[in-house]
């Protein structure tokens, strides 16, 4: 199932280039009271929401339909408890980061097994329809296309062989980055610097998450082209690694790292990012 969030927090089922408004399925979610849960309620109750959507379709309920190009796509996860990100998780990107002073800024670029995973601010999360405002025009601001796994089931100390059963689904991610000497979490957390979308593709729709092509273009020019088979730590190993430090909750976002080809974007550029089977998102960089 492909589920998007669109316009004013509507829930959509993406089918054949159309978005069916299935927002009424959200009625199965429990009412939240203070203190709010640490997880994303929609992802936490995804099986019940999916069942409700199946009933809407089976019962032939009249649903509003939109063309995909007519909706404003929001982040498929509204309330991630945390955004985890793998720093350098493709060997060729490790090599380019070590060679390019514009990327490393005298920061030591270590292997992920040694430097671990970092966290981005949840406030940086936006959907595909957002226009990205460059946070620091005095700096190099780069695109990083990444496969994103959305956690569906809570767990701590998850074994690699069980890890993929903790994934609710996948989407395309852009880990936007201000280059410079500061800590990664600061440089990658400006408002809008985590773009997720175009929608959530549930895990059952992805036959092999480690055989997906990634493609990022800027103004139609290919900048990053890779395949998830070249991940240093694969999705299962990343989940095991992350959960050895903290409990994972439904709706937690895991960005799995970017391949080689990162480059600067400028005001007025348009980035398109796509991953096999997960769709394509198109994001404009705001003019100054
Ligand atoms: Mn990254």
Q: 63-84 burial, b if ≥16 CB within 10 A, otherwise e?
A: beeeebeebebbbbbbbbbbbb
Ligand 1 centre and the CA of 67: distance in Å? 31
Q: Which pLDDT value is given to residue 41?
A: 97
Q: Which pLDDT value is given to residue 96?
A: 85
Determine contact, residues 153/261, Cβ cutoff 8 Å.
no
Determine contact, residues 175/144, Cβ cutoff 8 Å.
yes
Ligand 1 centre and the CA of 205: distance in Å? 25
Ligand 1 centre and the CA of 188: distance in Å? 8
Ligand 1 centre and the CA of 115: distance in Å? 13
Question: How far is residue 186's CA from residue 193's CA, in Å, rounded to a whole number?
Answer: 11
Would you say the pTM of this structure is higher than 0.75?
yes
Ligand 1 centre and the CA of 86: distance in Å? 6
Q: What value, to the nearest 5°, has the Cα angle with vertex 66 and ends 65 and 67?
A: 135
Ligand 1 centre and the CA of 52: distance in Å? 35
DSSP state for residue 60 in the 8-state scheme:
T
Ligand 1 centre and the CA of 146: distance in Å? 7
Ligand 1 centre and the CA of 81: distance in Å? 18
Nearest to 13 by CA among 200, 169, 173, 148: 200
Ion ligand 1 nearby residues (CB, 5 A) = 144, 175, 258
DSSP 102-156: HHHTT-----HHHH--EEE-GGGEE-TTPEEPPS-TTS-EE--EEEEEEE-S-BS
Determine contact, residues 104/94, Cβ cutoff 8 Å.
no
End-to-end CA distance of the chain: 38
Nearest to 253 by CA among 148, 155, 140: 148
Q: Which pLDDT value is given to residue 98?
A: 87
Classify strands 125-126 and 194-202 as parallel, antiparallel or unpaired.
parallel
Ligand 1 centre and the CA of 89: distance in Å? 8
Tokens of 207: 């036959």
Ligand 1 centre and the CA of 186: distance in Å? 13
Determine contact, residues 118/110, Cβ cutoff 8 Å.
no
Nearest to 179 by CA among 107, 271, 124: 107
Ligand 1 centre and the CA of 1: distance in Å? 27
Collect the ranges in the chain with pLDDT lower than 50.
none
DSSP state for residue 55 in the 8-state scheme:
H
What three-state secondary structure class fits 12?
strand
Question: How far is residue 242's CA from residue 61's CA, in Å, rounded to a whole number?
Answer: 42
């Amino acid at each position: 199932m492909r589920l998007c969030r669109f316009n004013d927090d509507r829930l959509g089922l993406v089918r054949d280039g159309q978005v069916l408004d299935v927002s009424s399925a959200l009625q199965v979610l429990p009412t939240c009271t203070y203190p709010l849960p640490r997880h994303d309620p929609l992802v936490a109750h995804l099986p019940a929401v999916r069942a409700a959507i199946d009933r809407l379709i089976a019962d032939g309920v009249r649903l509003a339909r939109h063309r995909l190009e007519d909706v404003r796509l929001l982040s498929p996860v509204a309330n991630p408890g945390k955004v985890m990100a793998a720093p350098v998780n493709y060997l060729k990107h490790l090599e380019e980061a070590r060679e390019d002073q514009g990327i490393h800024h005298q920061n030591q670029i270590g292997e992920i097994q040694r430097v671990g995973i970092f966290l981005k601010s949840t406030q940086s999360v936006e959907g595909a329809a957002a226009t990205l405002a460059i946070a620091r025009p005095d700096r190099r601001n780069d695109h990083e296309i990444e496969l994103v796994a959305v956690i569906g089931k809570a767990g701590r100390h998850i074994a690699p062989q069980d890890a993929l059963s903790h994934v609710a689904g996948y989407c395309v991610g852009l880990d936007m980055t201000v280059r410079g000497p500061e800590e990664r979490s600061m440089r990658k957390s400006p408002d809008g610097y985590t773009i997720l979308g175009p929608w959530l593709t549930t895990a059952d729709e992805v036959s092999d998450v480690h055989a997906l092509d990634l493609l990022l273009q800027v103004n139609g020019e290919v900048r990053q082209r890779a395949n998830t088979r070249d991940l240093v730590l694969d999705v299962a190993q990343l989940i095991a690694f992350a959960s050895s430090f903290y409990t994972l909750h439904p709706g937690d976002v895991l960005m799995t790292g970017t391949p080689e080809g990162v480059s600067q974007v400028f005001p007025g550029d348009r980035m398109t990012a796509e991953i096999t089977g997960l769709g394509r998102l198109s994001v404009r960089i705001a003019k100054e």
